[in-house]
Amino acid sequence: MGFWKSLFSNSDTVAGSRGGRGSAIAKDPRSSDPRANDTRIVFSTEREIDLYELEELCDAVGWARRPLRKVRKALQHSFLVVSMWEQRGVRRRLIGFARATSDHAFNATIWDVVVHPSYQSQGLGKALMQYTIKKLRSEDISNITLFADPHVVDFYRRLGFILDPEGIKGMFWYPD
Amino acid sequence: MGFWKSLFSNSDTVAGSRGGRGSAIAKDPRSSDPRANDTRIVFSTEREIDLYELEELCDAVGWARRPLRKVRKALQHSFLVVSMWEQRGVRRRLIGFARATSDHAFNATIWDVVVHPSYQSQGLGKALMQYTIKKLRSEDISNITLFADPHVVDFYRRLGFILDPEGIKGMFWYPD
Ligand SMILES: CC(C)(COP(=O)(O)OP(=O)(O)OC[C@H]1O[C@@H](n2cnc3c(N)ncnc32)[C@H](O)[C@@H]1OP(=O)(O)O)[C@@H](O)C(=O)NCCC(=O)NCCS
Ligand SMILES: CC(C)(COP(=O)(O)OP(=O)(O)OC[C@H]1O[C@@H](n2cnc3c(N)ncnc32)[C@H](O)[C@@H]1OP(=O)(O)O)[C@@H](O)C(=O)NCCC(=O)NCCS
């Protein structure tokens, strides 16, 4: 129900991207739904996501589990929460996620970008990021930042992200 | 008035750090107040800062001006706003500033760290950052991040910030 609300009030169907209508799904070995041609990739900015479904997605890429209480708080206080769904007829599955913190004025920082392994390498990560950037830009955020794991620096570079522009360096502080 | 509120409800006086009580002030050539011995450095997390005073501080280090409307919005939506004041008797002056965005759960990103040139190189930037880190830690934020201009990487390194830990890279996206 939360989902339908999101689908109609807060979502967009991706069109024209690689891995859009059908293509991501035709490859899915679990596809036995006669209505498979109905399959669409849908984006949503609704933040009321089933946290167990999100945990499953993060598990699938091997991320460490995080307390759901804290995940809920983080989603509530993110500026933007983007989820990507495979929609077949009335069924839907969470296949991608990203979120951003922001000061609502100058800058945003994107965190937790993930595409389910069964749906990777089909252009969906790119579509997810392009959707996220478009949403941030529509809020007049001009400085979009992130911290990239070494193996995905090139993924972000292809999307137009610049590494250490003018020597600006990402730094982290951890408790002792 | 807003200031007094902040001073008593939301502030701390720095004690024991280099550049704390007196030392930062004794050097200030404009010091002619007979009550100069009253001088203290005070930190506040009150976000109702005089935007003109903040603009003056940022001007003093040569930062590009930003629309005050957007600055106001950014302060409202920052997770933490830290200001550092020189307090002499009943007079006070804004001499330092920092703020952080956050998801209120896992991570925070520090922006706009500045100390007025007349007060630099006396340990006040360090005290400002230590205060900021302490506040973020008291909110249970474990992942504190920032993007450092090349000339201040060492300033942050001395404070315990790590450059590109495990190869994680800061990246920026700008509009075309
Ligand atoms: C990173 C991730 C989101 C990419 O999603 P994806 O759907 O596989 O990516 P796409 O298929 O849209 O790829 C888009 C482009 O980036 C390239 N690309 C994808 N993954 C890449 C990688 N790891 N390294 C370099 N390039 C990569 C693709 O070749 C493609 O290039 P092209 O546009 O020139 O054809 C996905 O692999 C993932 O979830 N990984 C695990 C979680 C993770 O590491 N997240 C990032 C944390 S910082
Ligand atoms: C960067 C800044 C906040 C430092 O404030 P400060 O009050 O001068 O710093 P401190 O006196 O507390 O210095 C703390 C330590 O960092 C060192 N340090 C200070 N500035 C430094 C710099 N630019 N590069 C390397 N080390 C520096 C000091 O030597 C001192 O070292 P120590 O603890 O070993 O004695 C201040 O210079 C400033 O406002 N600069 C202009 C704005 C700016 O560039 N902000 C950062 C944007 S990312």
3-state secondary structure chain B: CHHHHHHHHCEEECCCCCCCCCHHHHCCCCCCCCCHHHCEEEEECCCCCCHHHHHHHHHHCCCCCCCHHHHHHHHHCCCEEEEEEEEECCEEEEEEEEEEEECCCCEEEEEEEEECHHHCCCCHHHHHHHHHHHHHHHCCCCEEEEEECHHHHHHHHHCCCEECHHHCEEEEECCC
Residue type, A16: G
Grade residue A37 by pLDDT with cuts at 50, 70 and 90.
Answer: low
Spell out the residues 6+ positions from residue B86 whose beta carbon is closer than 8 angstroms to its own: B24, B25, B39, B40, B41, B42, B92, B93, B95, B119
**A contacts of B105 (beta carbons < 8 Å):** 70-71, 73-74, 77
- How would residue B16 be classed by pLDDT, with cut points 50, 70 and 90? very low
Structural domain count, chain A: 1
Q: What is the pLDDT of residue A14?
A: 54
DSSP state of A36: G
Host domain of residue A58:
3-160
Give the mean pLDDT of chain B: 85
Kindly tell me if the per-residue pLDDT of B2 is higher than 80: no
Amino acid at B142: S
Q: Is residue B171 part of a domain?
A: no
Task: Let me know: does A113 contact A159? Beta carbons within 8 Å.
Answer: no
- B73 contacts in chain A (CB < 8 Å): 103-105
Q: Which residue has the higher pLDDT, B142 or B95?
A: B95
Instruction: Please say if the pLDDT value at position A34 is more than 60.
Output: no
Distance CA B142, CA B83 (A): 22
* pLDDT value for A175: 76
Is any ligand 1 atom within 6 A of the Cβ of residue A126? yes
- Considering only alpha carbons, which residue of chain A is nearest residue B173? A161
Atom from ligand 2 closest to the CA of residue B116: 39
The mean pLDDT of B150-163, rounded to a whole number, is: 97
Cα–Cα dist A132/A44, whole Å: 10
Give one DSSP letter per residue of A111-157, joined into a string: EEEEE-GGG-SSSHHHHHHHHHHHHHHHTT--EEEEEE-GGGHHHHH
What ipTM was assigned to the predicted interfaces of this complex?
0.83
pLDDT at A12: 66
Tell me whether strands B11-13 and A80-88 are parallel, antiparallel or unpaired: unpaired
pTM score: 0.87
Domain annotation covers residue A8: yes
Distance from the alpha carbon of residue B121 to the mean position of ligand 2, in angstroms: 6
Please say whether the beta carbons of B126 and B113 come within 8 A. Answer: no
Of residues B159 and B18, more confidently modeled:
B159
Q: Is the pLDDT of residue B49 over 80?
A: yes
The model's confidence at residue A131, banded by pLDDT at 50, 70 and 90, is very high
**Domain for residue B166, yes or no?**
no
B83 pLDDT above the threshold of 90:
yes
Pair B109, A146: CB distance under 8 Å: no
- Is B134 part of the contact surface with chain A (CB cutoff 8 Å)? no
Residue A77 touches chain B, beta carbons under 8 Å? yes
Under a CB-based contact definition with an 8 Å cutoff, are residues B146 and B164 in contact?
no
Q: Which of B106, B148, B172 sits opposite A171 (nearest CB)?
A: B148
Beta strands at A91-102 and A80-88: parallel, antiparallel or unpaired: antiparallel
Task: Report yes or no on B119 lying in a domain.
Answer: yes
- Residue of the CA atom closest to atom 43 of ligand 2: B114
Q: Is residue B152 part of a domain?
A: yes
Residues A148-157 pLDDT 10s: 999 999 999 9
pLDDT at res. B42: 97
Ligand 1 within 6 A of CB of A79: no
* CB nearest B173 (choices: A73, A133, A174): A133
- From the list B75, B102, B148, which residue is nearest A168 (CB)? B148
- pLDDT tens for each residue of A93-121: 999 999 999 999 999 999 999 999 999 99
- A174 pLDDT tier (thresholds 50, 70, 90): confident
What mean pLDDT value characterizes chain A? Answer: 85
Q: How far is the CA of B94 from the centre of ligand 1 (A)?
A: 45
Has residue B131 been placed in a domain? yes
Percentage of the residues of chain B whose pLDDT score is greater than 90? 76
Q: Is residue B136 part of a domain?
A: yes
For residue B116, what is the domain's CATH number?
3.40.630.30
A158 contacts chain B (CB < 8 A): no
Asked if A146 is an interface residue toward chain B (Cβ–Cβ < 8 A), one would say yes
Whether B24 has a pLDDT exceeding 80, the answer reads no
Between vectors from CA A137 to CA A131 and to CA A139, what angle results, nearest 5°?
110
Catalytic residue among B119, B131, B156, B174: B156
What is the pLDDT, as a whole number, of residue B174? 85
Q: Torsion over CA of A101, A107, A112 and A118, rounded to 10 degrees?
A: 130
Cβ contact (<8 Å) for B170 and A169? yes
Q: What is the mean pLDDT of residues B57-74?
A: 98
| 3 state SS of A31 | coil
Which residues of A are less than 8 Å from B175 in CB distance? 137, 142
Q: Does the pLDDT at position B46 exceed 60?
A: yes
Is B64 within 8 Å of chain A by CB? no
Q: Residue B139 — φ and ψ, nearest 5°?
A: -95, 10
What is the predicted pLDDT for the residue at B1?
30
If you search the block for the tokens 């003109």, which residue do you land on?
A: B52
Residue A170 lies in a domain: no
> Cβ contacts of residue B164 below 8 Å, gap of 6+?
A169, A170, A171, B170
